[in-house]
Amino acid sequence: MNVILIPGFWLDASSWRDVSPALVEAGHTVHALTLPGLSSIDEDRGGIGFQDHVDTVVEKIDELPDEVALVGHSGGGTIAGAAADARPERVAHVVYVDSFPLGDGNAIDPDAAGENGFELPDWSQLEDEELVDMTDEIRAEFRARAIPEPVRVATDRIQLANERRYDVPTTIIATAFPKAMYERLMEQDNPMLAELKRMRRRAIVDLPTGHWPQFTKPKELAAAIVDALAHRP
């Protein structure tokens, strides 16, 4: 299957470098994307919004034959969900890596700000759960490669219109926060998980580590993705 890999904030296609080989070995064709504004530090990001990132994914879907699978990490998961809304008949599966679908009218981070993108925050601003297995070496490498994220990708309101998205098989790979937490919040009708709760074919699998498993546990993440694609909910 054609598998489109969508990076999270501050990252480009190379962030999937240690995950892709196992997907290829399993028989998939991998297409790791670098989204607009994330190619270099020097880019002008002022005019780039959330829909531009969605459109980039949709263009790739339209280029490829047959059904495709989307794998999105963090904010890239929200982009994957919106792309599935645009092309539900073409998307065979959406895999969210430490992410989940957001509903219509939401924004990934309404408070994001910056003159030409917003920077990777200081580690002290992140939750301890997000930083599990993030060694000093991994943190230094990540910070050295991080590219400012276009502000409007985070602050633009998501526009969804096709209820066929609720029939697209959906798998959450839960890393920083466990499956049990997702299930508890859905039982409590937490509004942030309202979209996930409406997914008619969903699965949640645990991969205990921090928010960036492509760096902390790439082999385990690849295996979880391969297994998810082989066993659609």
163-204 pLDDT, tens digit each: 999 999 999 999 999 999 999 999 999 999 999 999 999 999
The parent domain of residue 71 ranges over 2-230
Q: Which two three-digit tokens encode residue 154? A: 């985070």
The total number of structural domains in the chain stands at 1
Question: What is the helix, strand, coil percentage profile of the chain, to 5?
Answer: 40, 15, 45
pLDDT at 53 (0 to 100): 98
Quote the pLDDT of residue 119. 95
Whether this model's pTM surpasses 0.95: yes
The beta strands (E) that lie in 74-228 are given as 91-97, 170-174, 202-206
Q: Please report the pLDDT score of residue 69 as a whole number.
A: 98
List, for residues 120-139, the tens digit of each pLDDT value.
Answer: 999 999 999 999 999 999 99
Sheet with strand 29-32: strands edge to edge: 29-32, 2-6, 68-73, 91-97, 170-174, 202-206
**In whole angstroms, what is the distance from residue 53 CA to residue 79 CA?**
7
- The single-letter code of the amino acid at 156 is D
- The domain that contains 171 carries what CATH number? 3.40.50.1820
Instruction: Give the residue ranges of the chain where pLDDT is below 50.
Output: none
What does the pLDDT read at residue 112? 96
What is the residue whose two structure tokens read 């501050």? 10
Task: Please work out, in degrees rounded to the nearest 5, the angle formed at the alpha carbon of residue 197 by the alpha carbons of 192 and 200.
Answer: 150
